[in-house]
Structure 1
Amino acid sequence: MRGLVWMKDGGAEYAEVELSADLAAVGVAIGTDPVPYRLEYTLRTFPGYMTELLSVRVHGAGWQRAIDLRRSAHGAWSCETKADGHLEGPFPGGDMGVLNDALDCDLEFSPLTDTMPVLRHDLAAREGRMDFVMAFVQVPHLHVVRHPRRYAHLGPNAVRFESEGSAADLTLDDDGIVVDYPGLAKLVRM
């Protein structure tokens, strides 16, 4: 089990992460964009680092949102949601039918969820480039959308992330955890 802290331009994140043939994590984040919020999550994967569960609770002044996003062993996505109070923007959840080809979730603003596809395909160590579809969970609304992207090996512990309209060269540690995500987060060494 590792305790990890990332500092972000608009907040911070702490996660307790256990890596073996799968990934299990609990975390908490605070952020400011688009409104101040506090977020807690639980993440579990099946062996091979494919999402099994992402459970998220987020709240701010006068509102709260919750989502339990699940992927079955057969690849079917489902979610349960809750929304109280007023938060401008989309409601939690979304069309799960468009996620059939997604193996991974991506919690917006969290560098941890970039770990799963990189580990599954050993992209921090092996040459290659892979295209993925993610179940992208927008924060703080917890609205889920289909999000295509690409990860490409750049060198030892270095991977390029690309999606429509954005790209970043990620630095990872020997466990495949994101150490530096330019423009998003930097792991604080303890």
Structure 2
Amino acid sequence: MIFTSPPETAAWRHHTARTGFEVVYFQPTQDGHLIEGRTTAVEEGQTWAVGYTIEVDAGWRTRRARLTSRSVAGVRETVLESGDPGSWRVDGVPAPHLDGCLDVDLESSAMTNAFPVHRLRLAVGAGQDTPAAFVRAVDLTVERLDQRYTRIPDEGRRQRYGYAAPVFDVACRLIYDESGFVLDYPGLASRVDLQPR
């Protein structure tokens, strides 16, 4: 099944691991999409807010991400750029530890779990390792995150994936809507129903 075009906007309520809310806006560009969002949350008794602007190409590979984080520690900003697929610069400095990553995965965001699903277009039963440039919420530290997506049988018109990130001891099932955005991320976030305009 091919995903439909992204909605104009989407939102997620974060729960269990943190209390918070994420709102995102999608805008088509000549060769992909511009995605702008913000998450505000309370986690382990501390507040933080992360704003992001992410550019993806027509194949949903991340080309550029500009991030801003605000917490009691102050304001932080960082920019990730991918010139050649799988080659990264963080704040203009080459980041070889991210070689082979095609996606940005934000700790603060449920939306970024859409990138590998759109890009890979896995058949039911297929799986693939897809490391990501993982950005921490508070200090915007960028790490390599080894993870795997495995497509499992659909639930009606909704695609389902087994997701594993061994470094975090995470193994769960993610459910996506027809446009390829996660509806339920166990222990992290659930999509909020929005009224059509």
The answer to which of 168-177 and 34-43 deviates more is 34-43
Q: What per-residue deviation string (whole Å, max 9, x for no partner) do you get for residues 23-56 of structure 1? A: 3210011012252012110011122111101111
CA distance in 1, matches of 2:131, 2:73: 34
Determine whether 1:46 maps to 2:57. Answer: yes
Q: CA RMSD in A?
A: 2.0
- 8 Å CA contact 2:85–2:102 kept in 1: the answer is no
What's 1:119 paired with? 118
Where does 1:25-174 land on structure 2 (aligned, <5 Å)?
25-34=35-44, 35-80=46-91, 96-123=95-122, 126-156=124-154, 157-164=159-166, 165-174=169-178
What CA deviation, in whole Å up to 9, does each residue of 1:79-135 have, x standing for no partner?
A: 229xxxxxxxxxxx9x81111111111001311111111111223x64310101111
Q: TM-score, normalised by structure 1?
A: 0.86
For residues 14 and 37 of structure 1, the distance between their equivalents in structure 2, rounded to whole angstroms, comes to: 15
Identity %: 26
Give secondary structure in 1 for the equivalent of 2:111: helix
What is the count of residue pairs matched by the alignment?
177
Residue equivalent to 2:4:
none
Tell me the CA shift for residue 2 of structure 1: 1.7
Distance (Å, rounded) in 2 between the aligned partners of 1:151 and 1:75: 18
Q: Distance in 1 between matches of 2:113 and 2:28?
A: 14
TM-score, L = length of structure 2: 0.83
2:32 to 6, 22, 27: 22
Alignment-derived partner of residue 189 in structure 1: 193
Aligned mates of 1:18, 1:140 — CA distance in 2: 26
- When structure 1 is superposed on structure 2, of 21-30 and 173-182 the one drifting more is 21-30
The secondary structure found in structure 2 opposite 1:4 is strand
Structure 2 unaligned spans of 5+: 1-6
Q: Which whole-Å deviations, capped at 9, do the CAs of 1:138-181 have from their partners, x for residues lacking one?
A: 11110001111100111221111101111121110011111111
Distance 1:69 1:105 in 2: 9
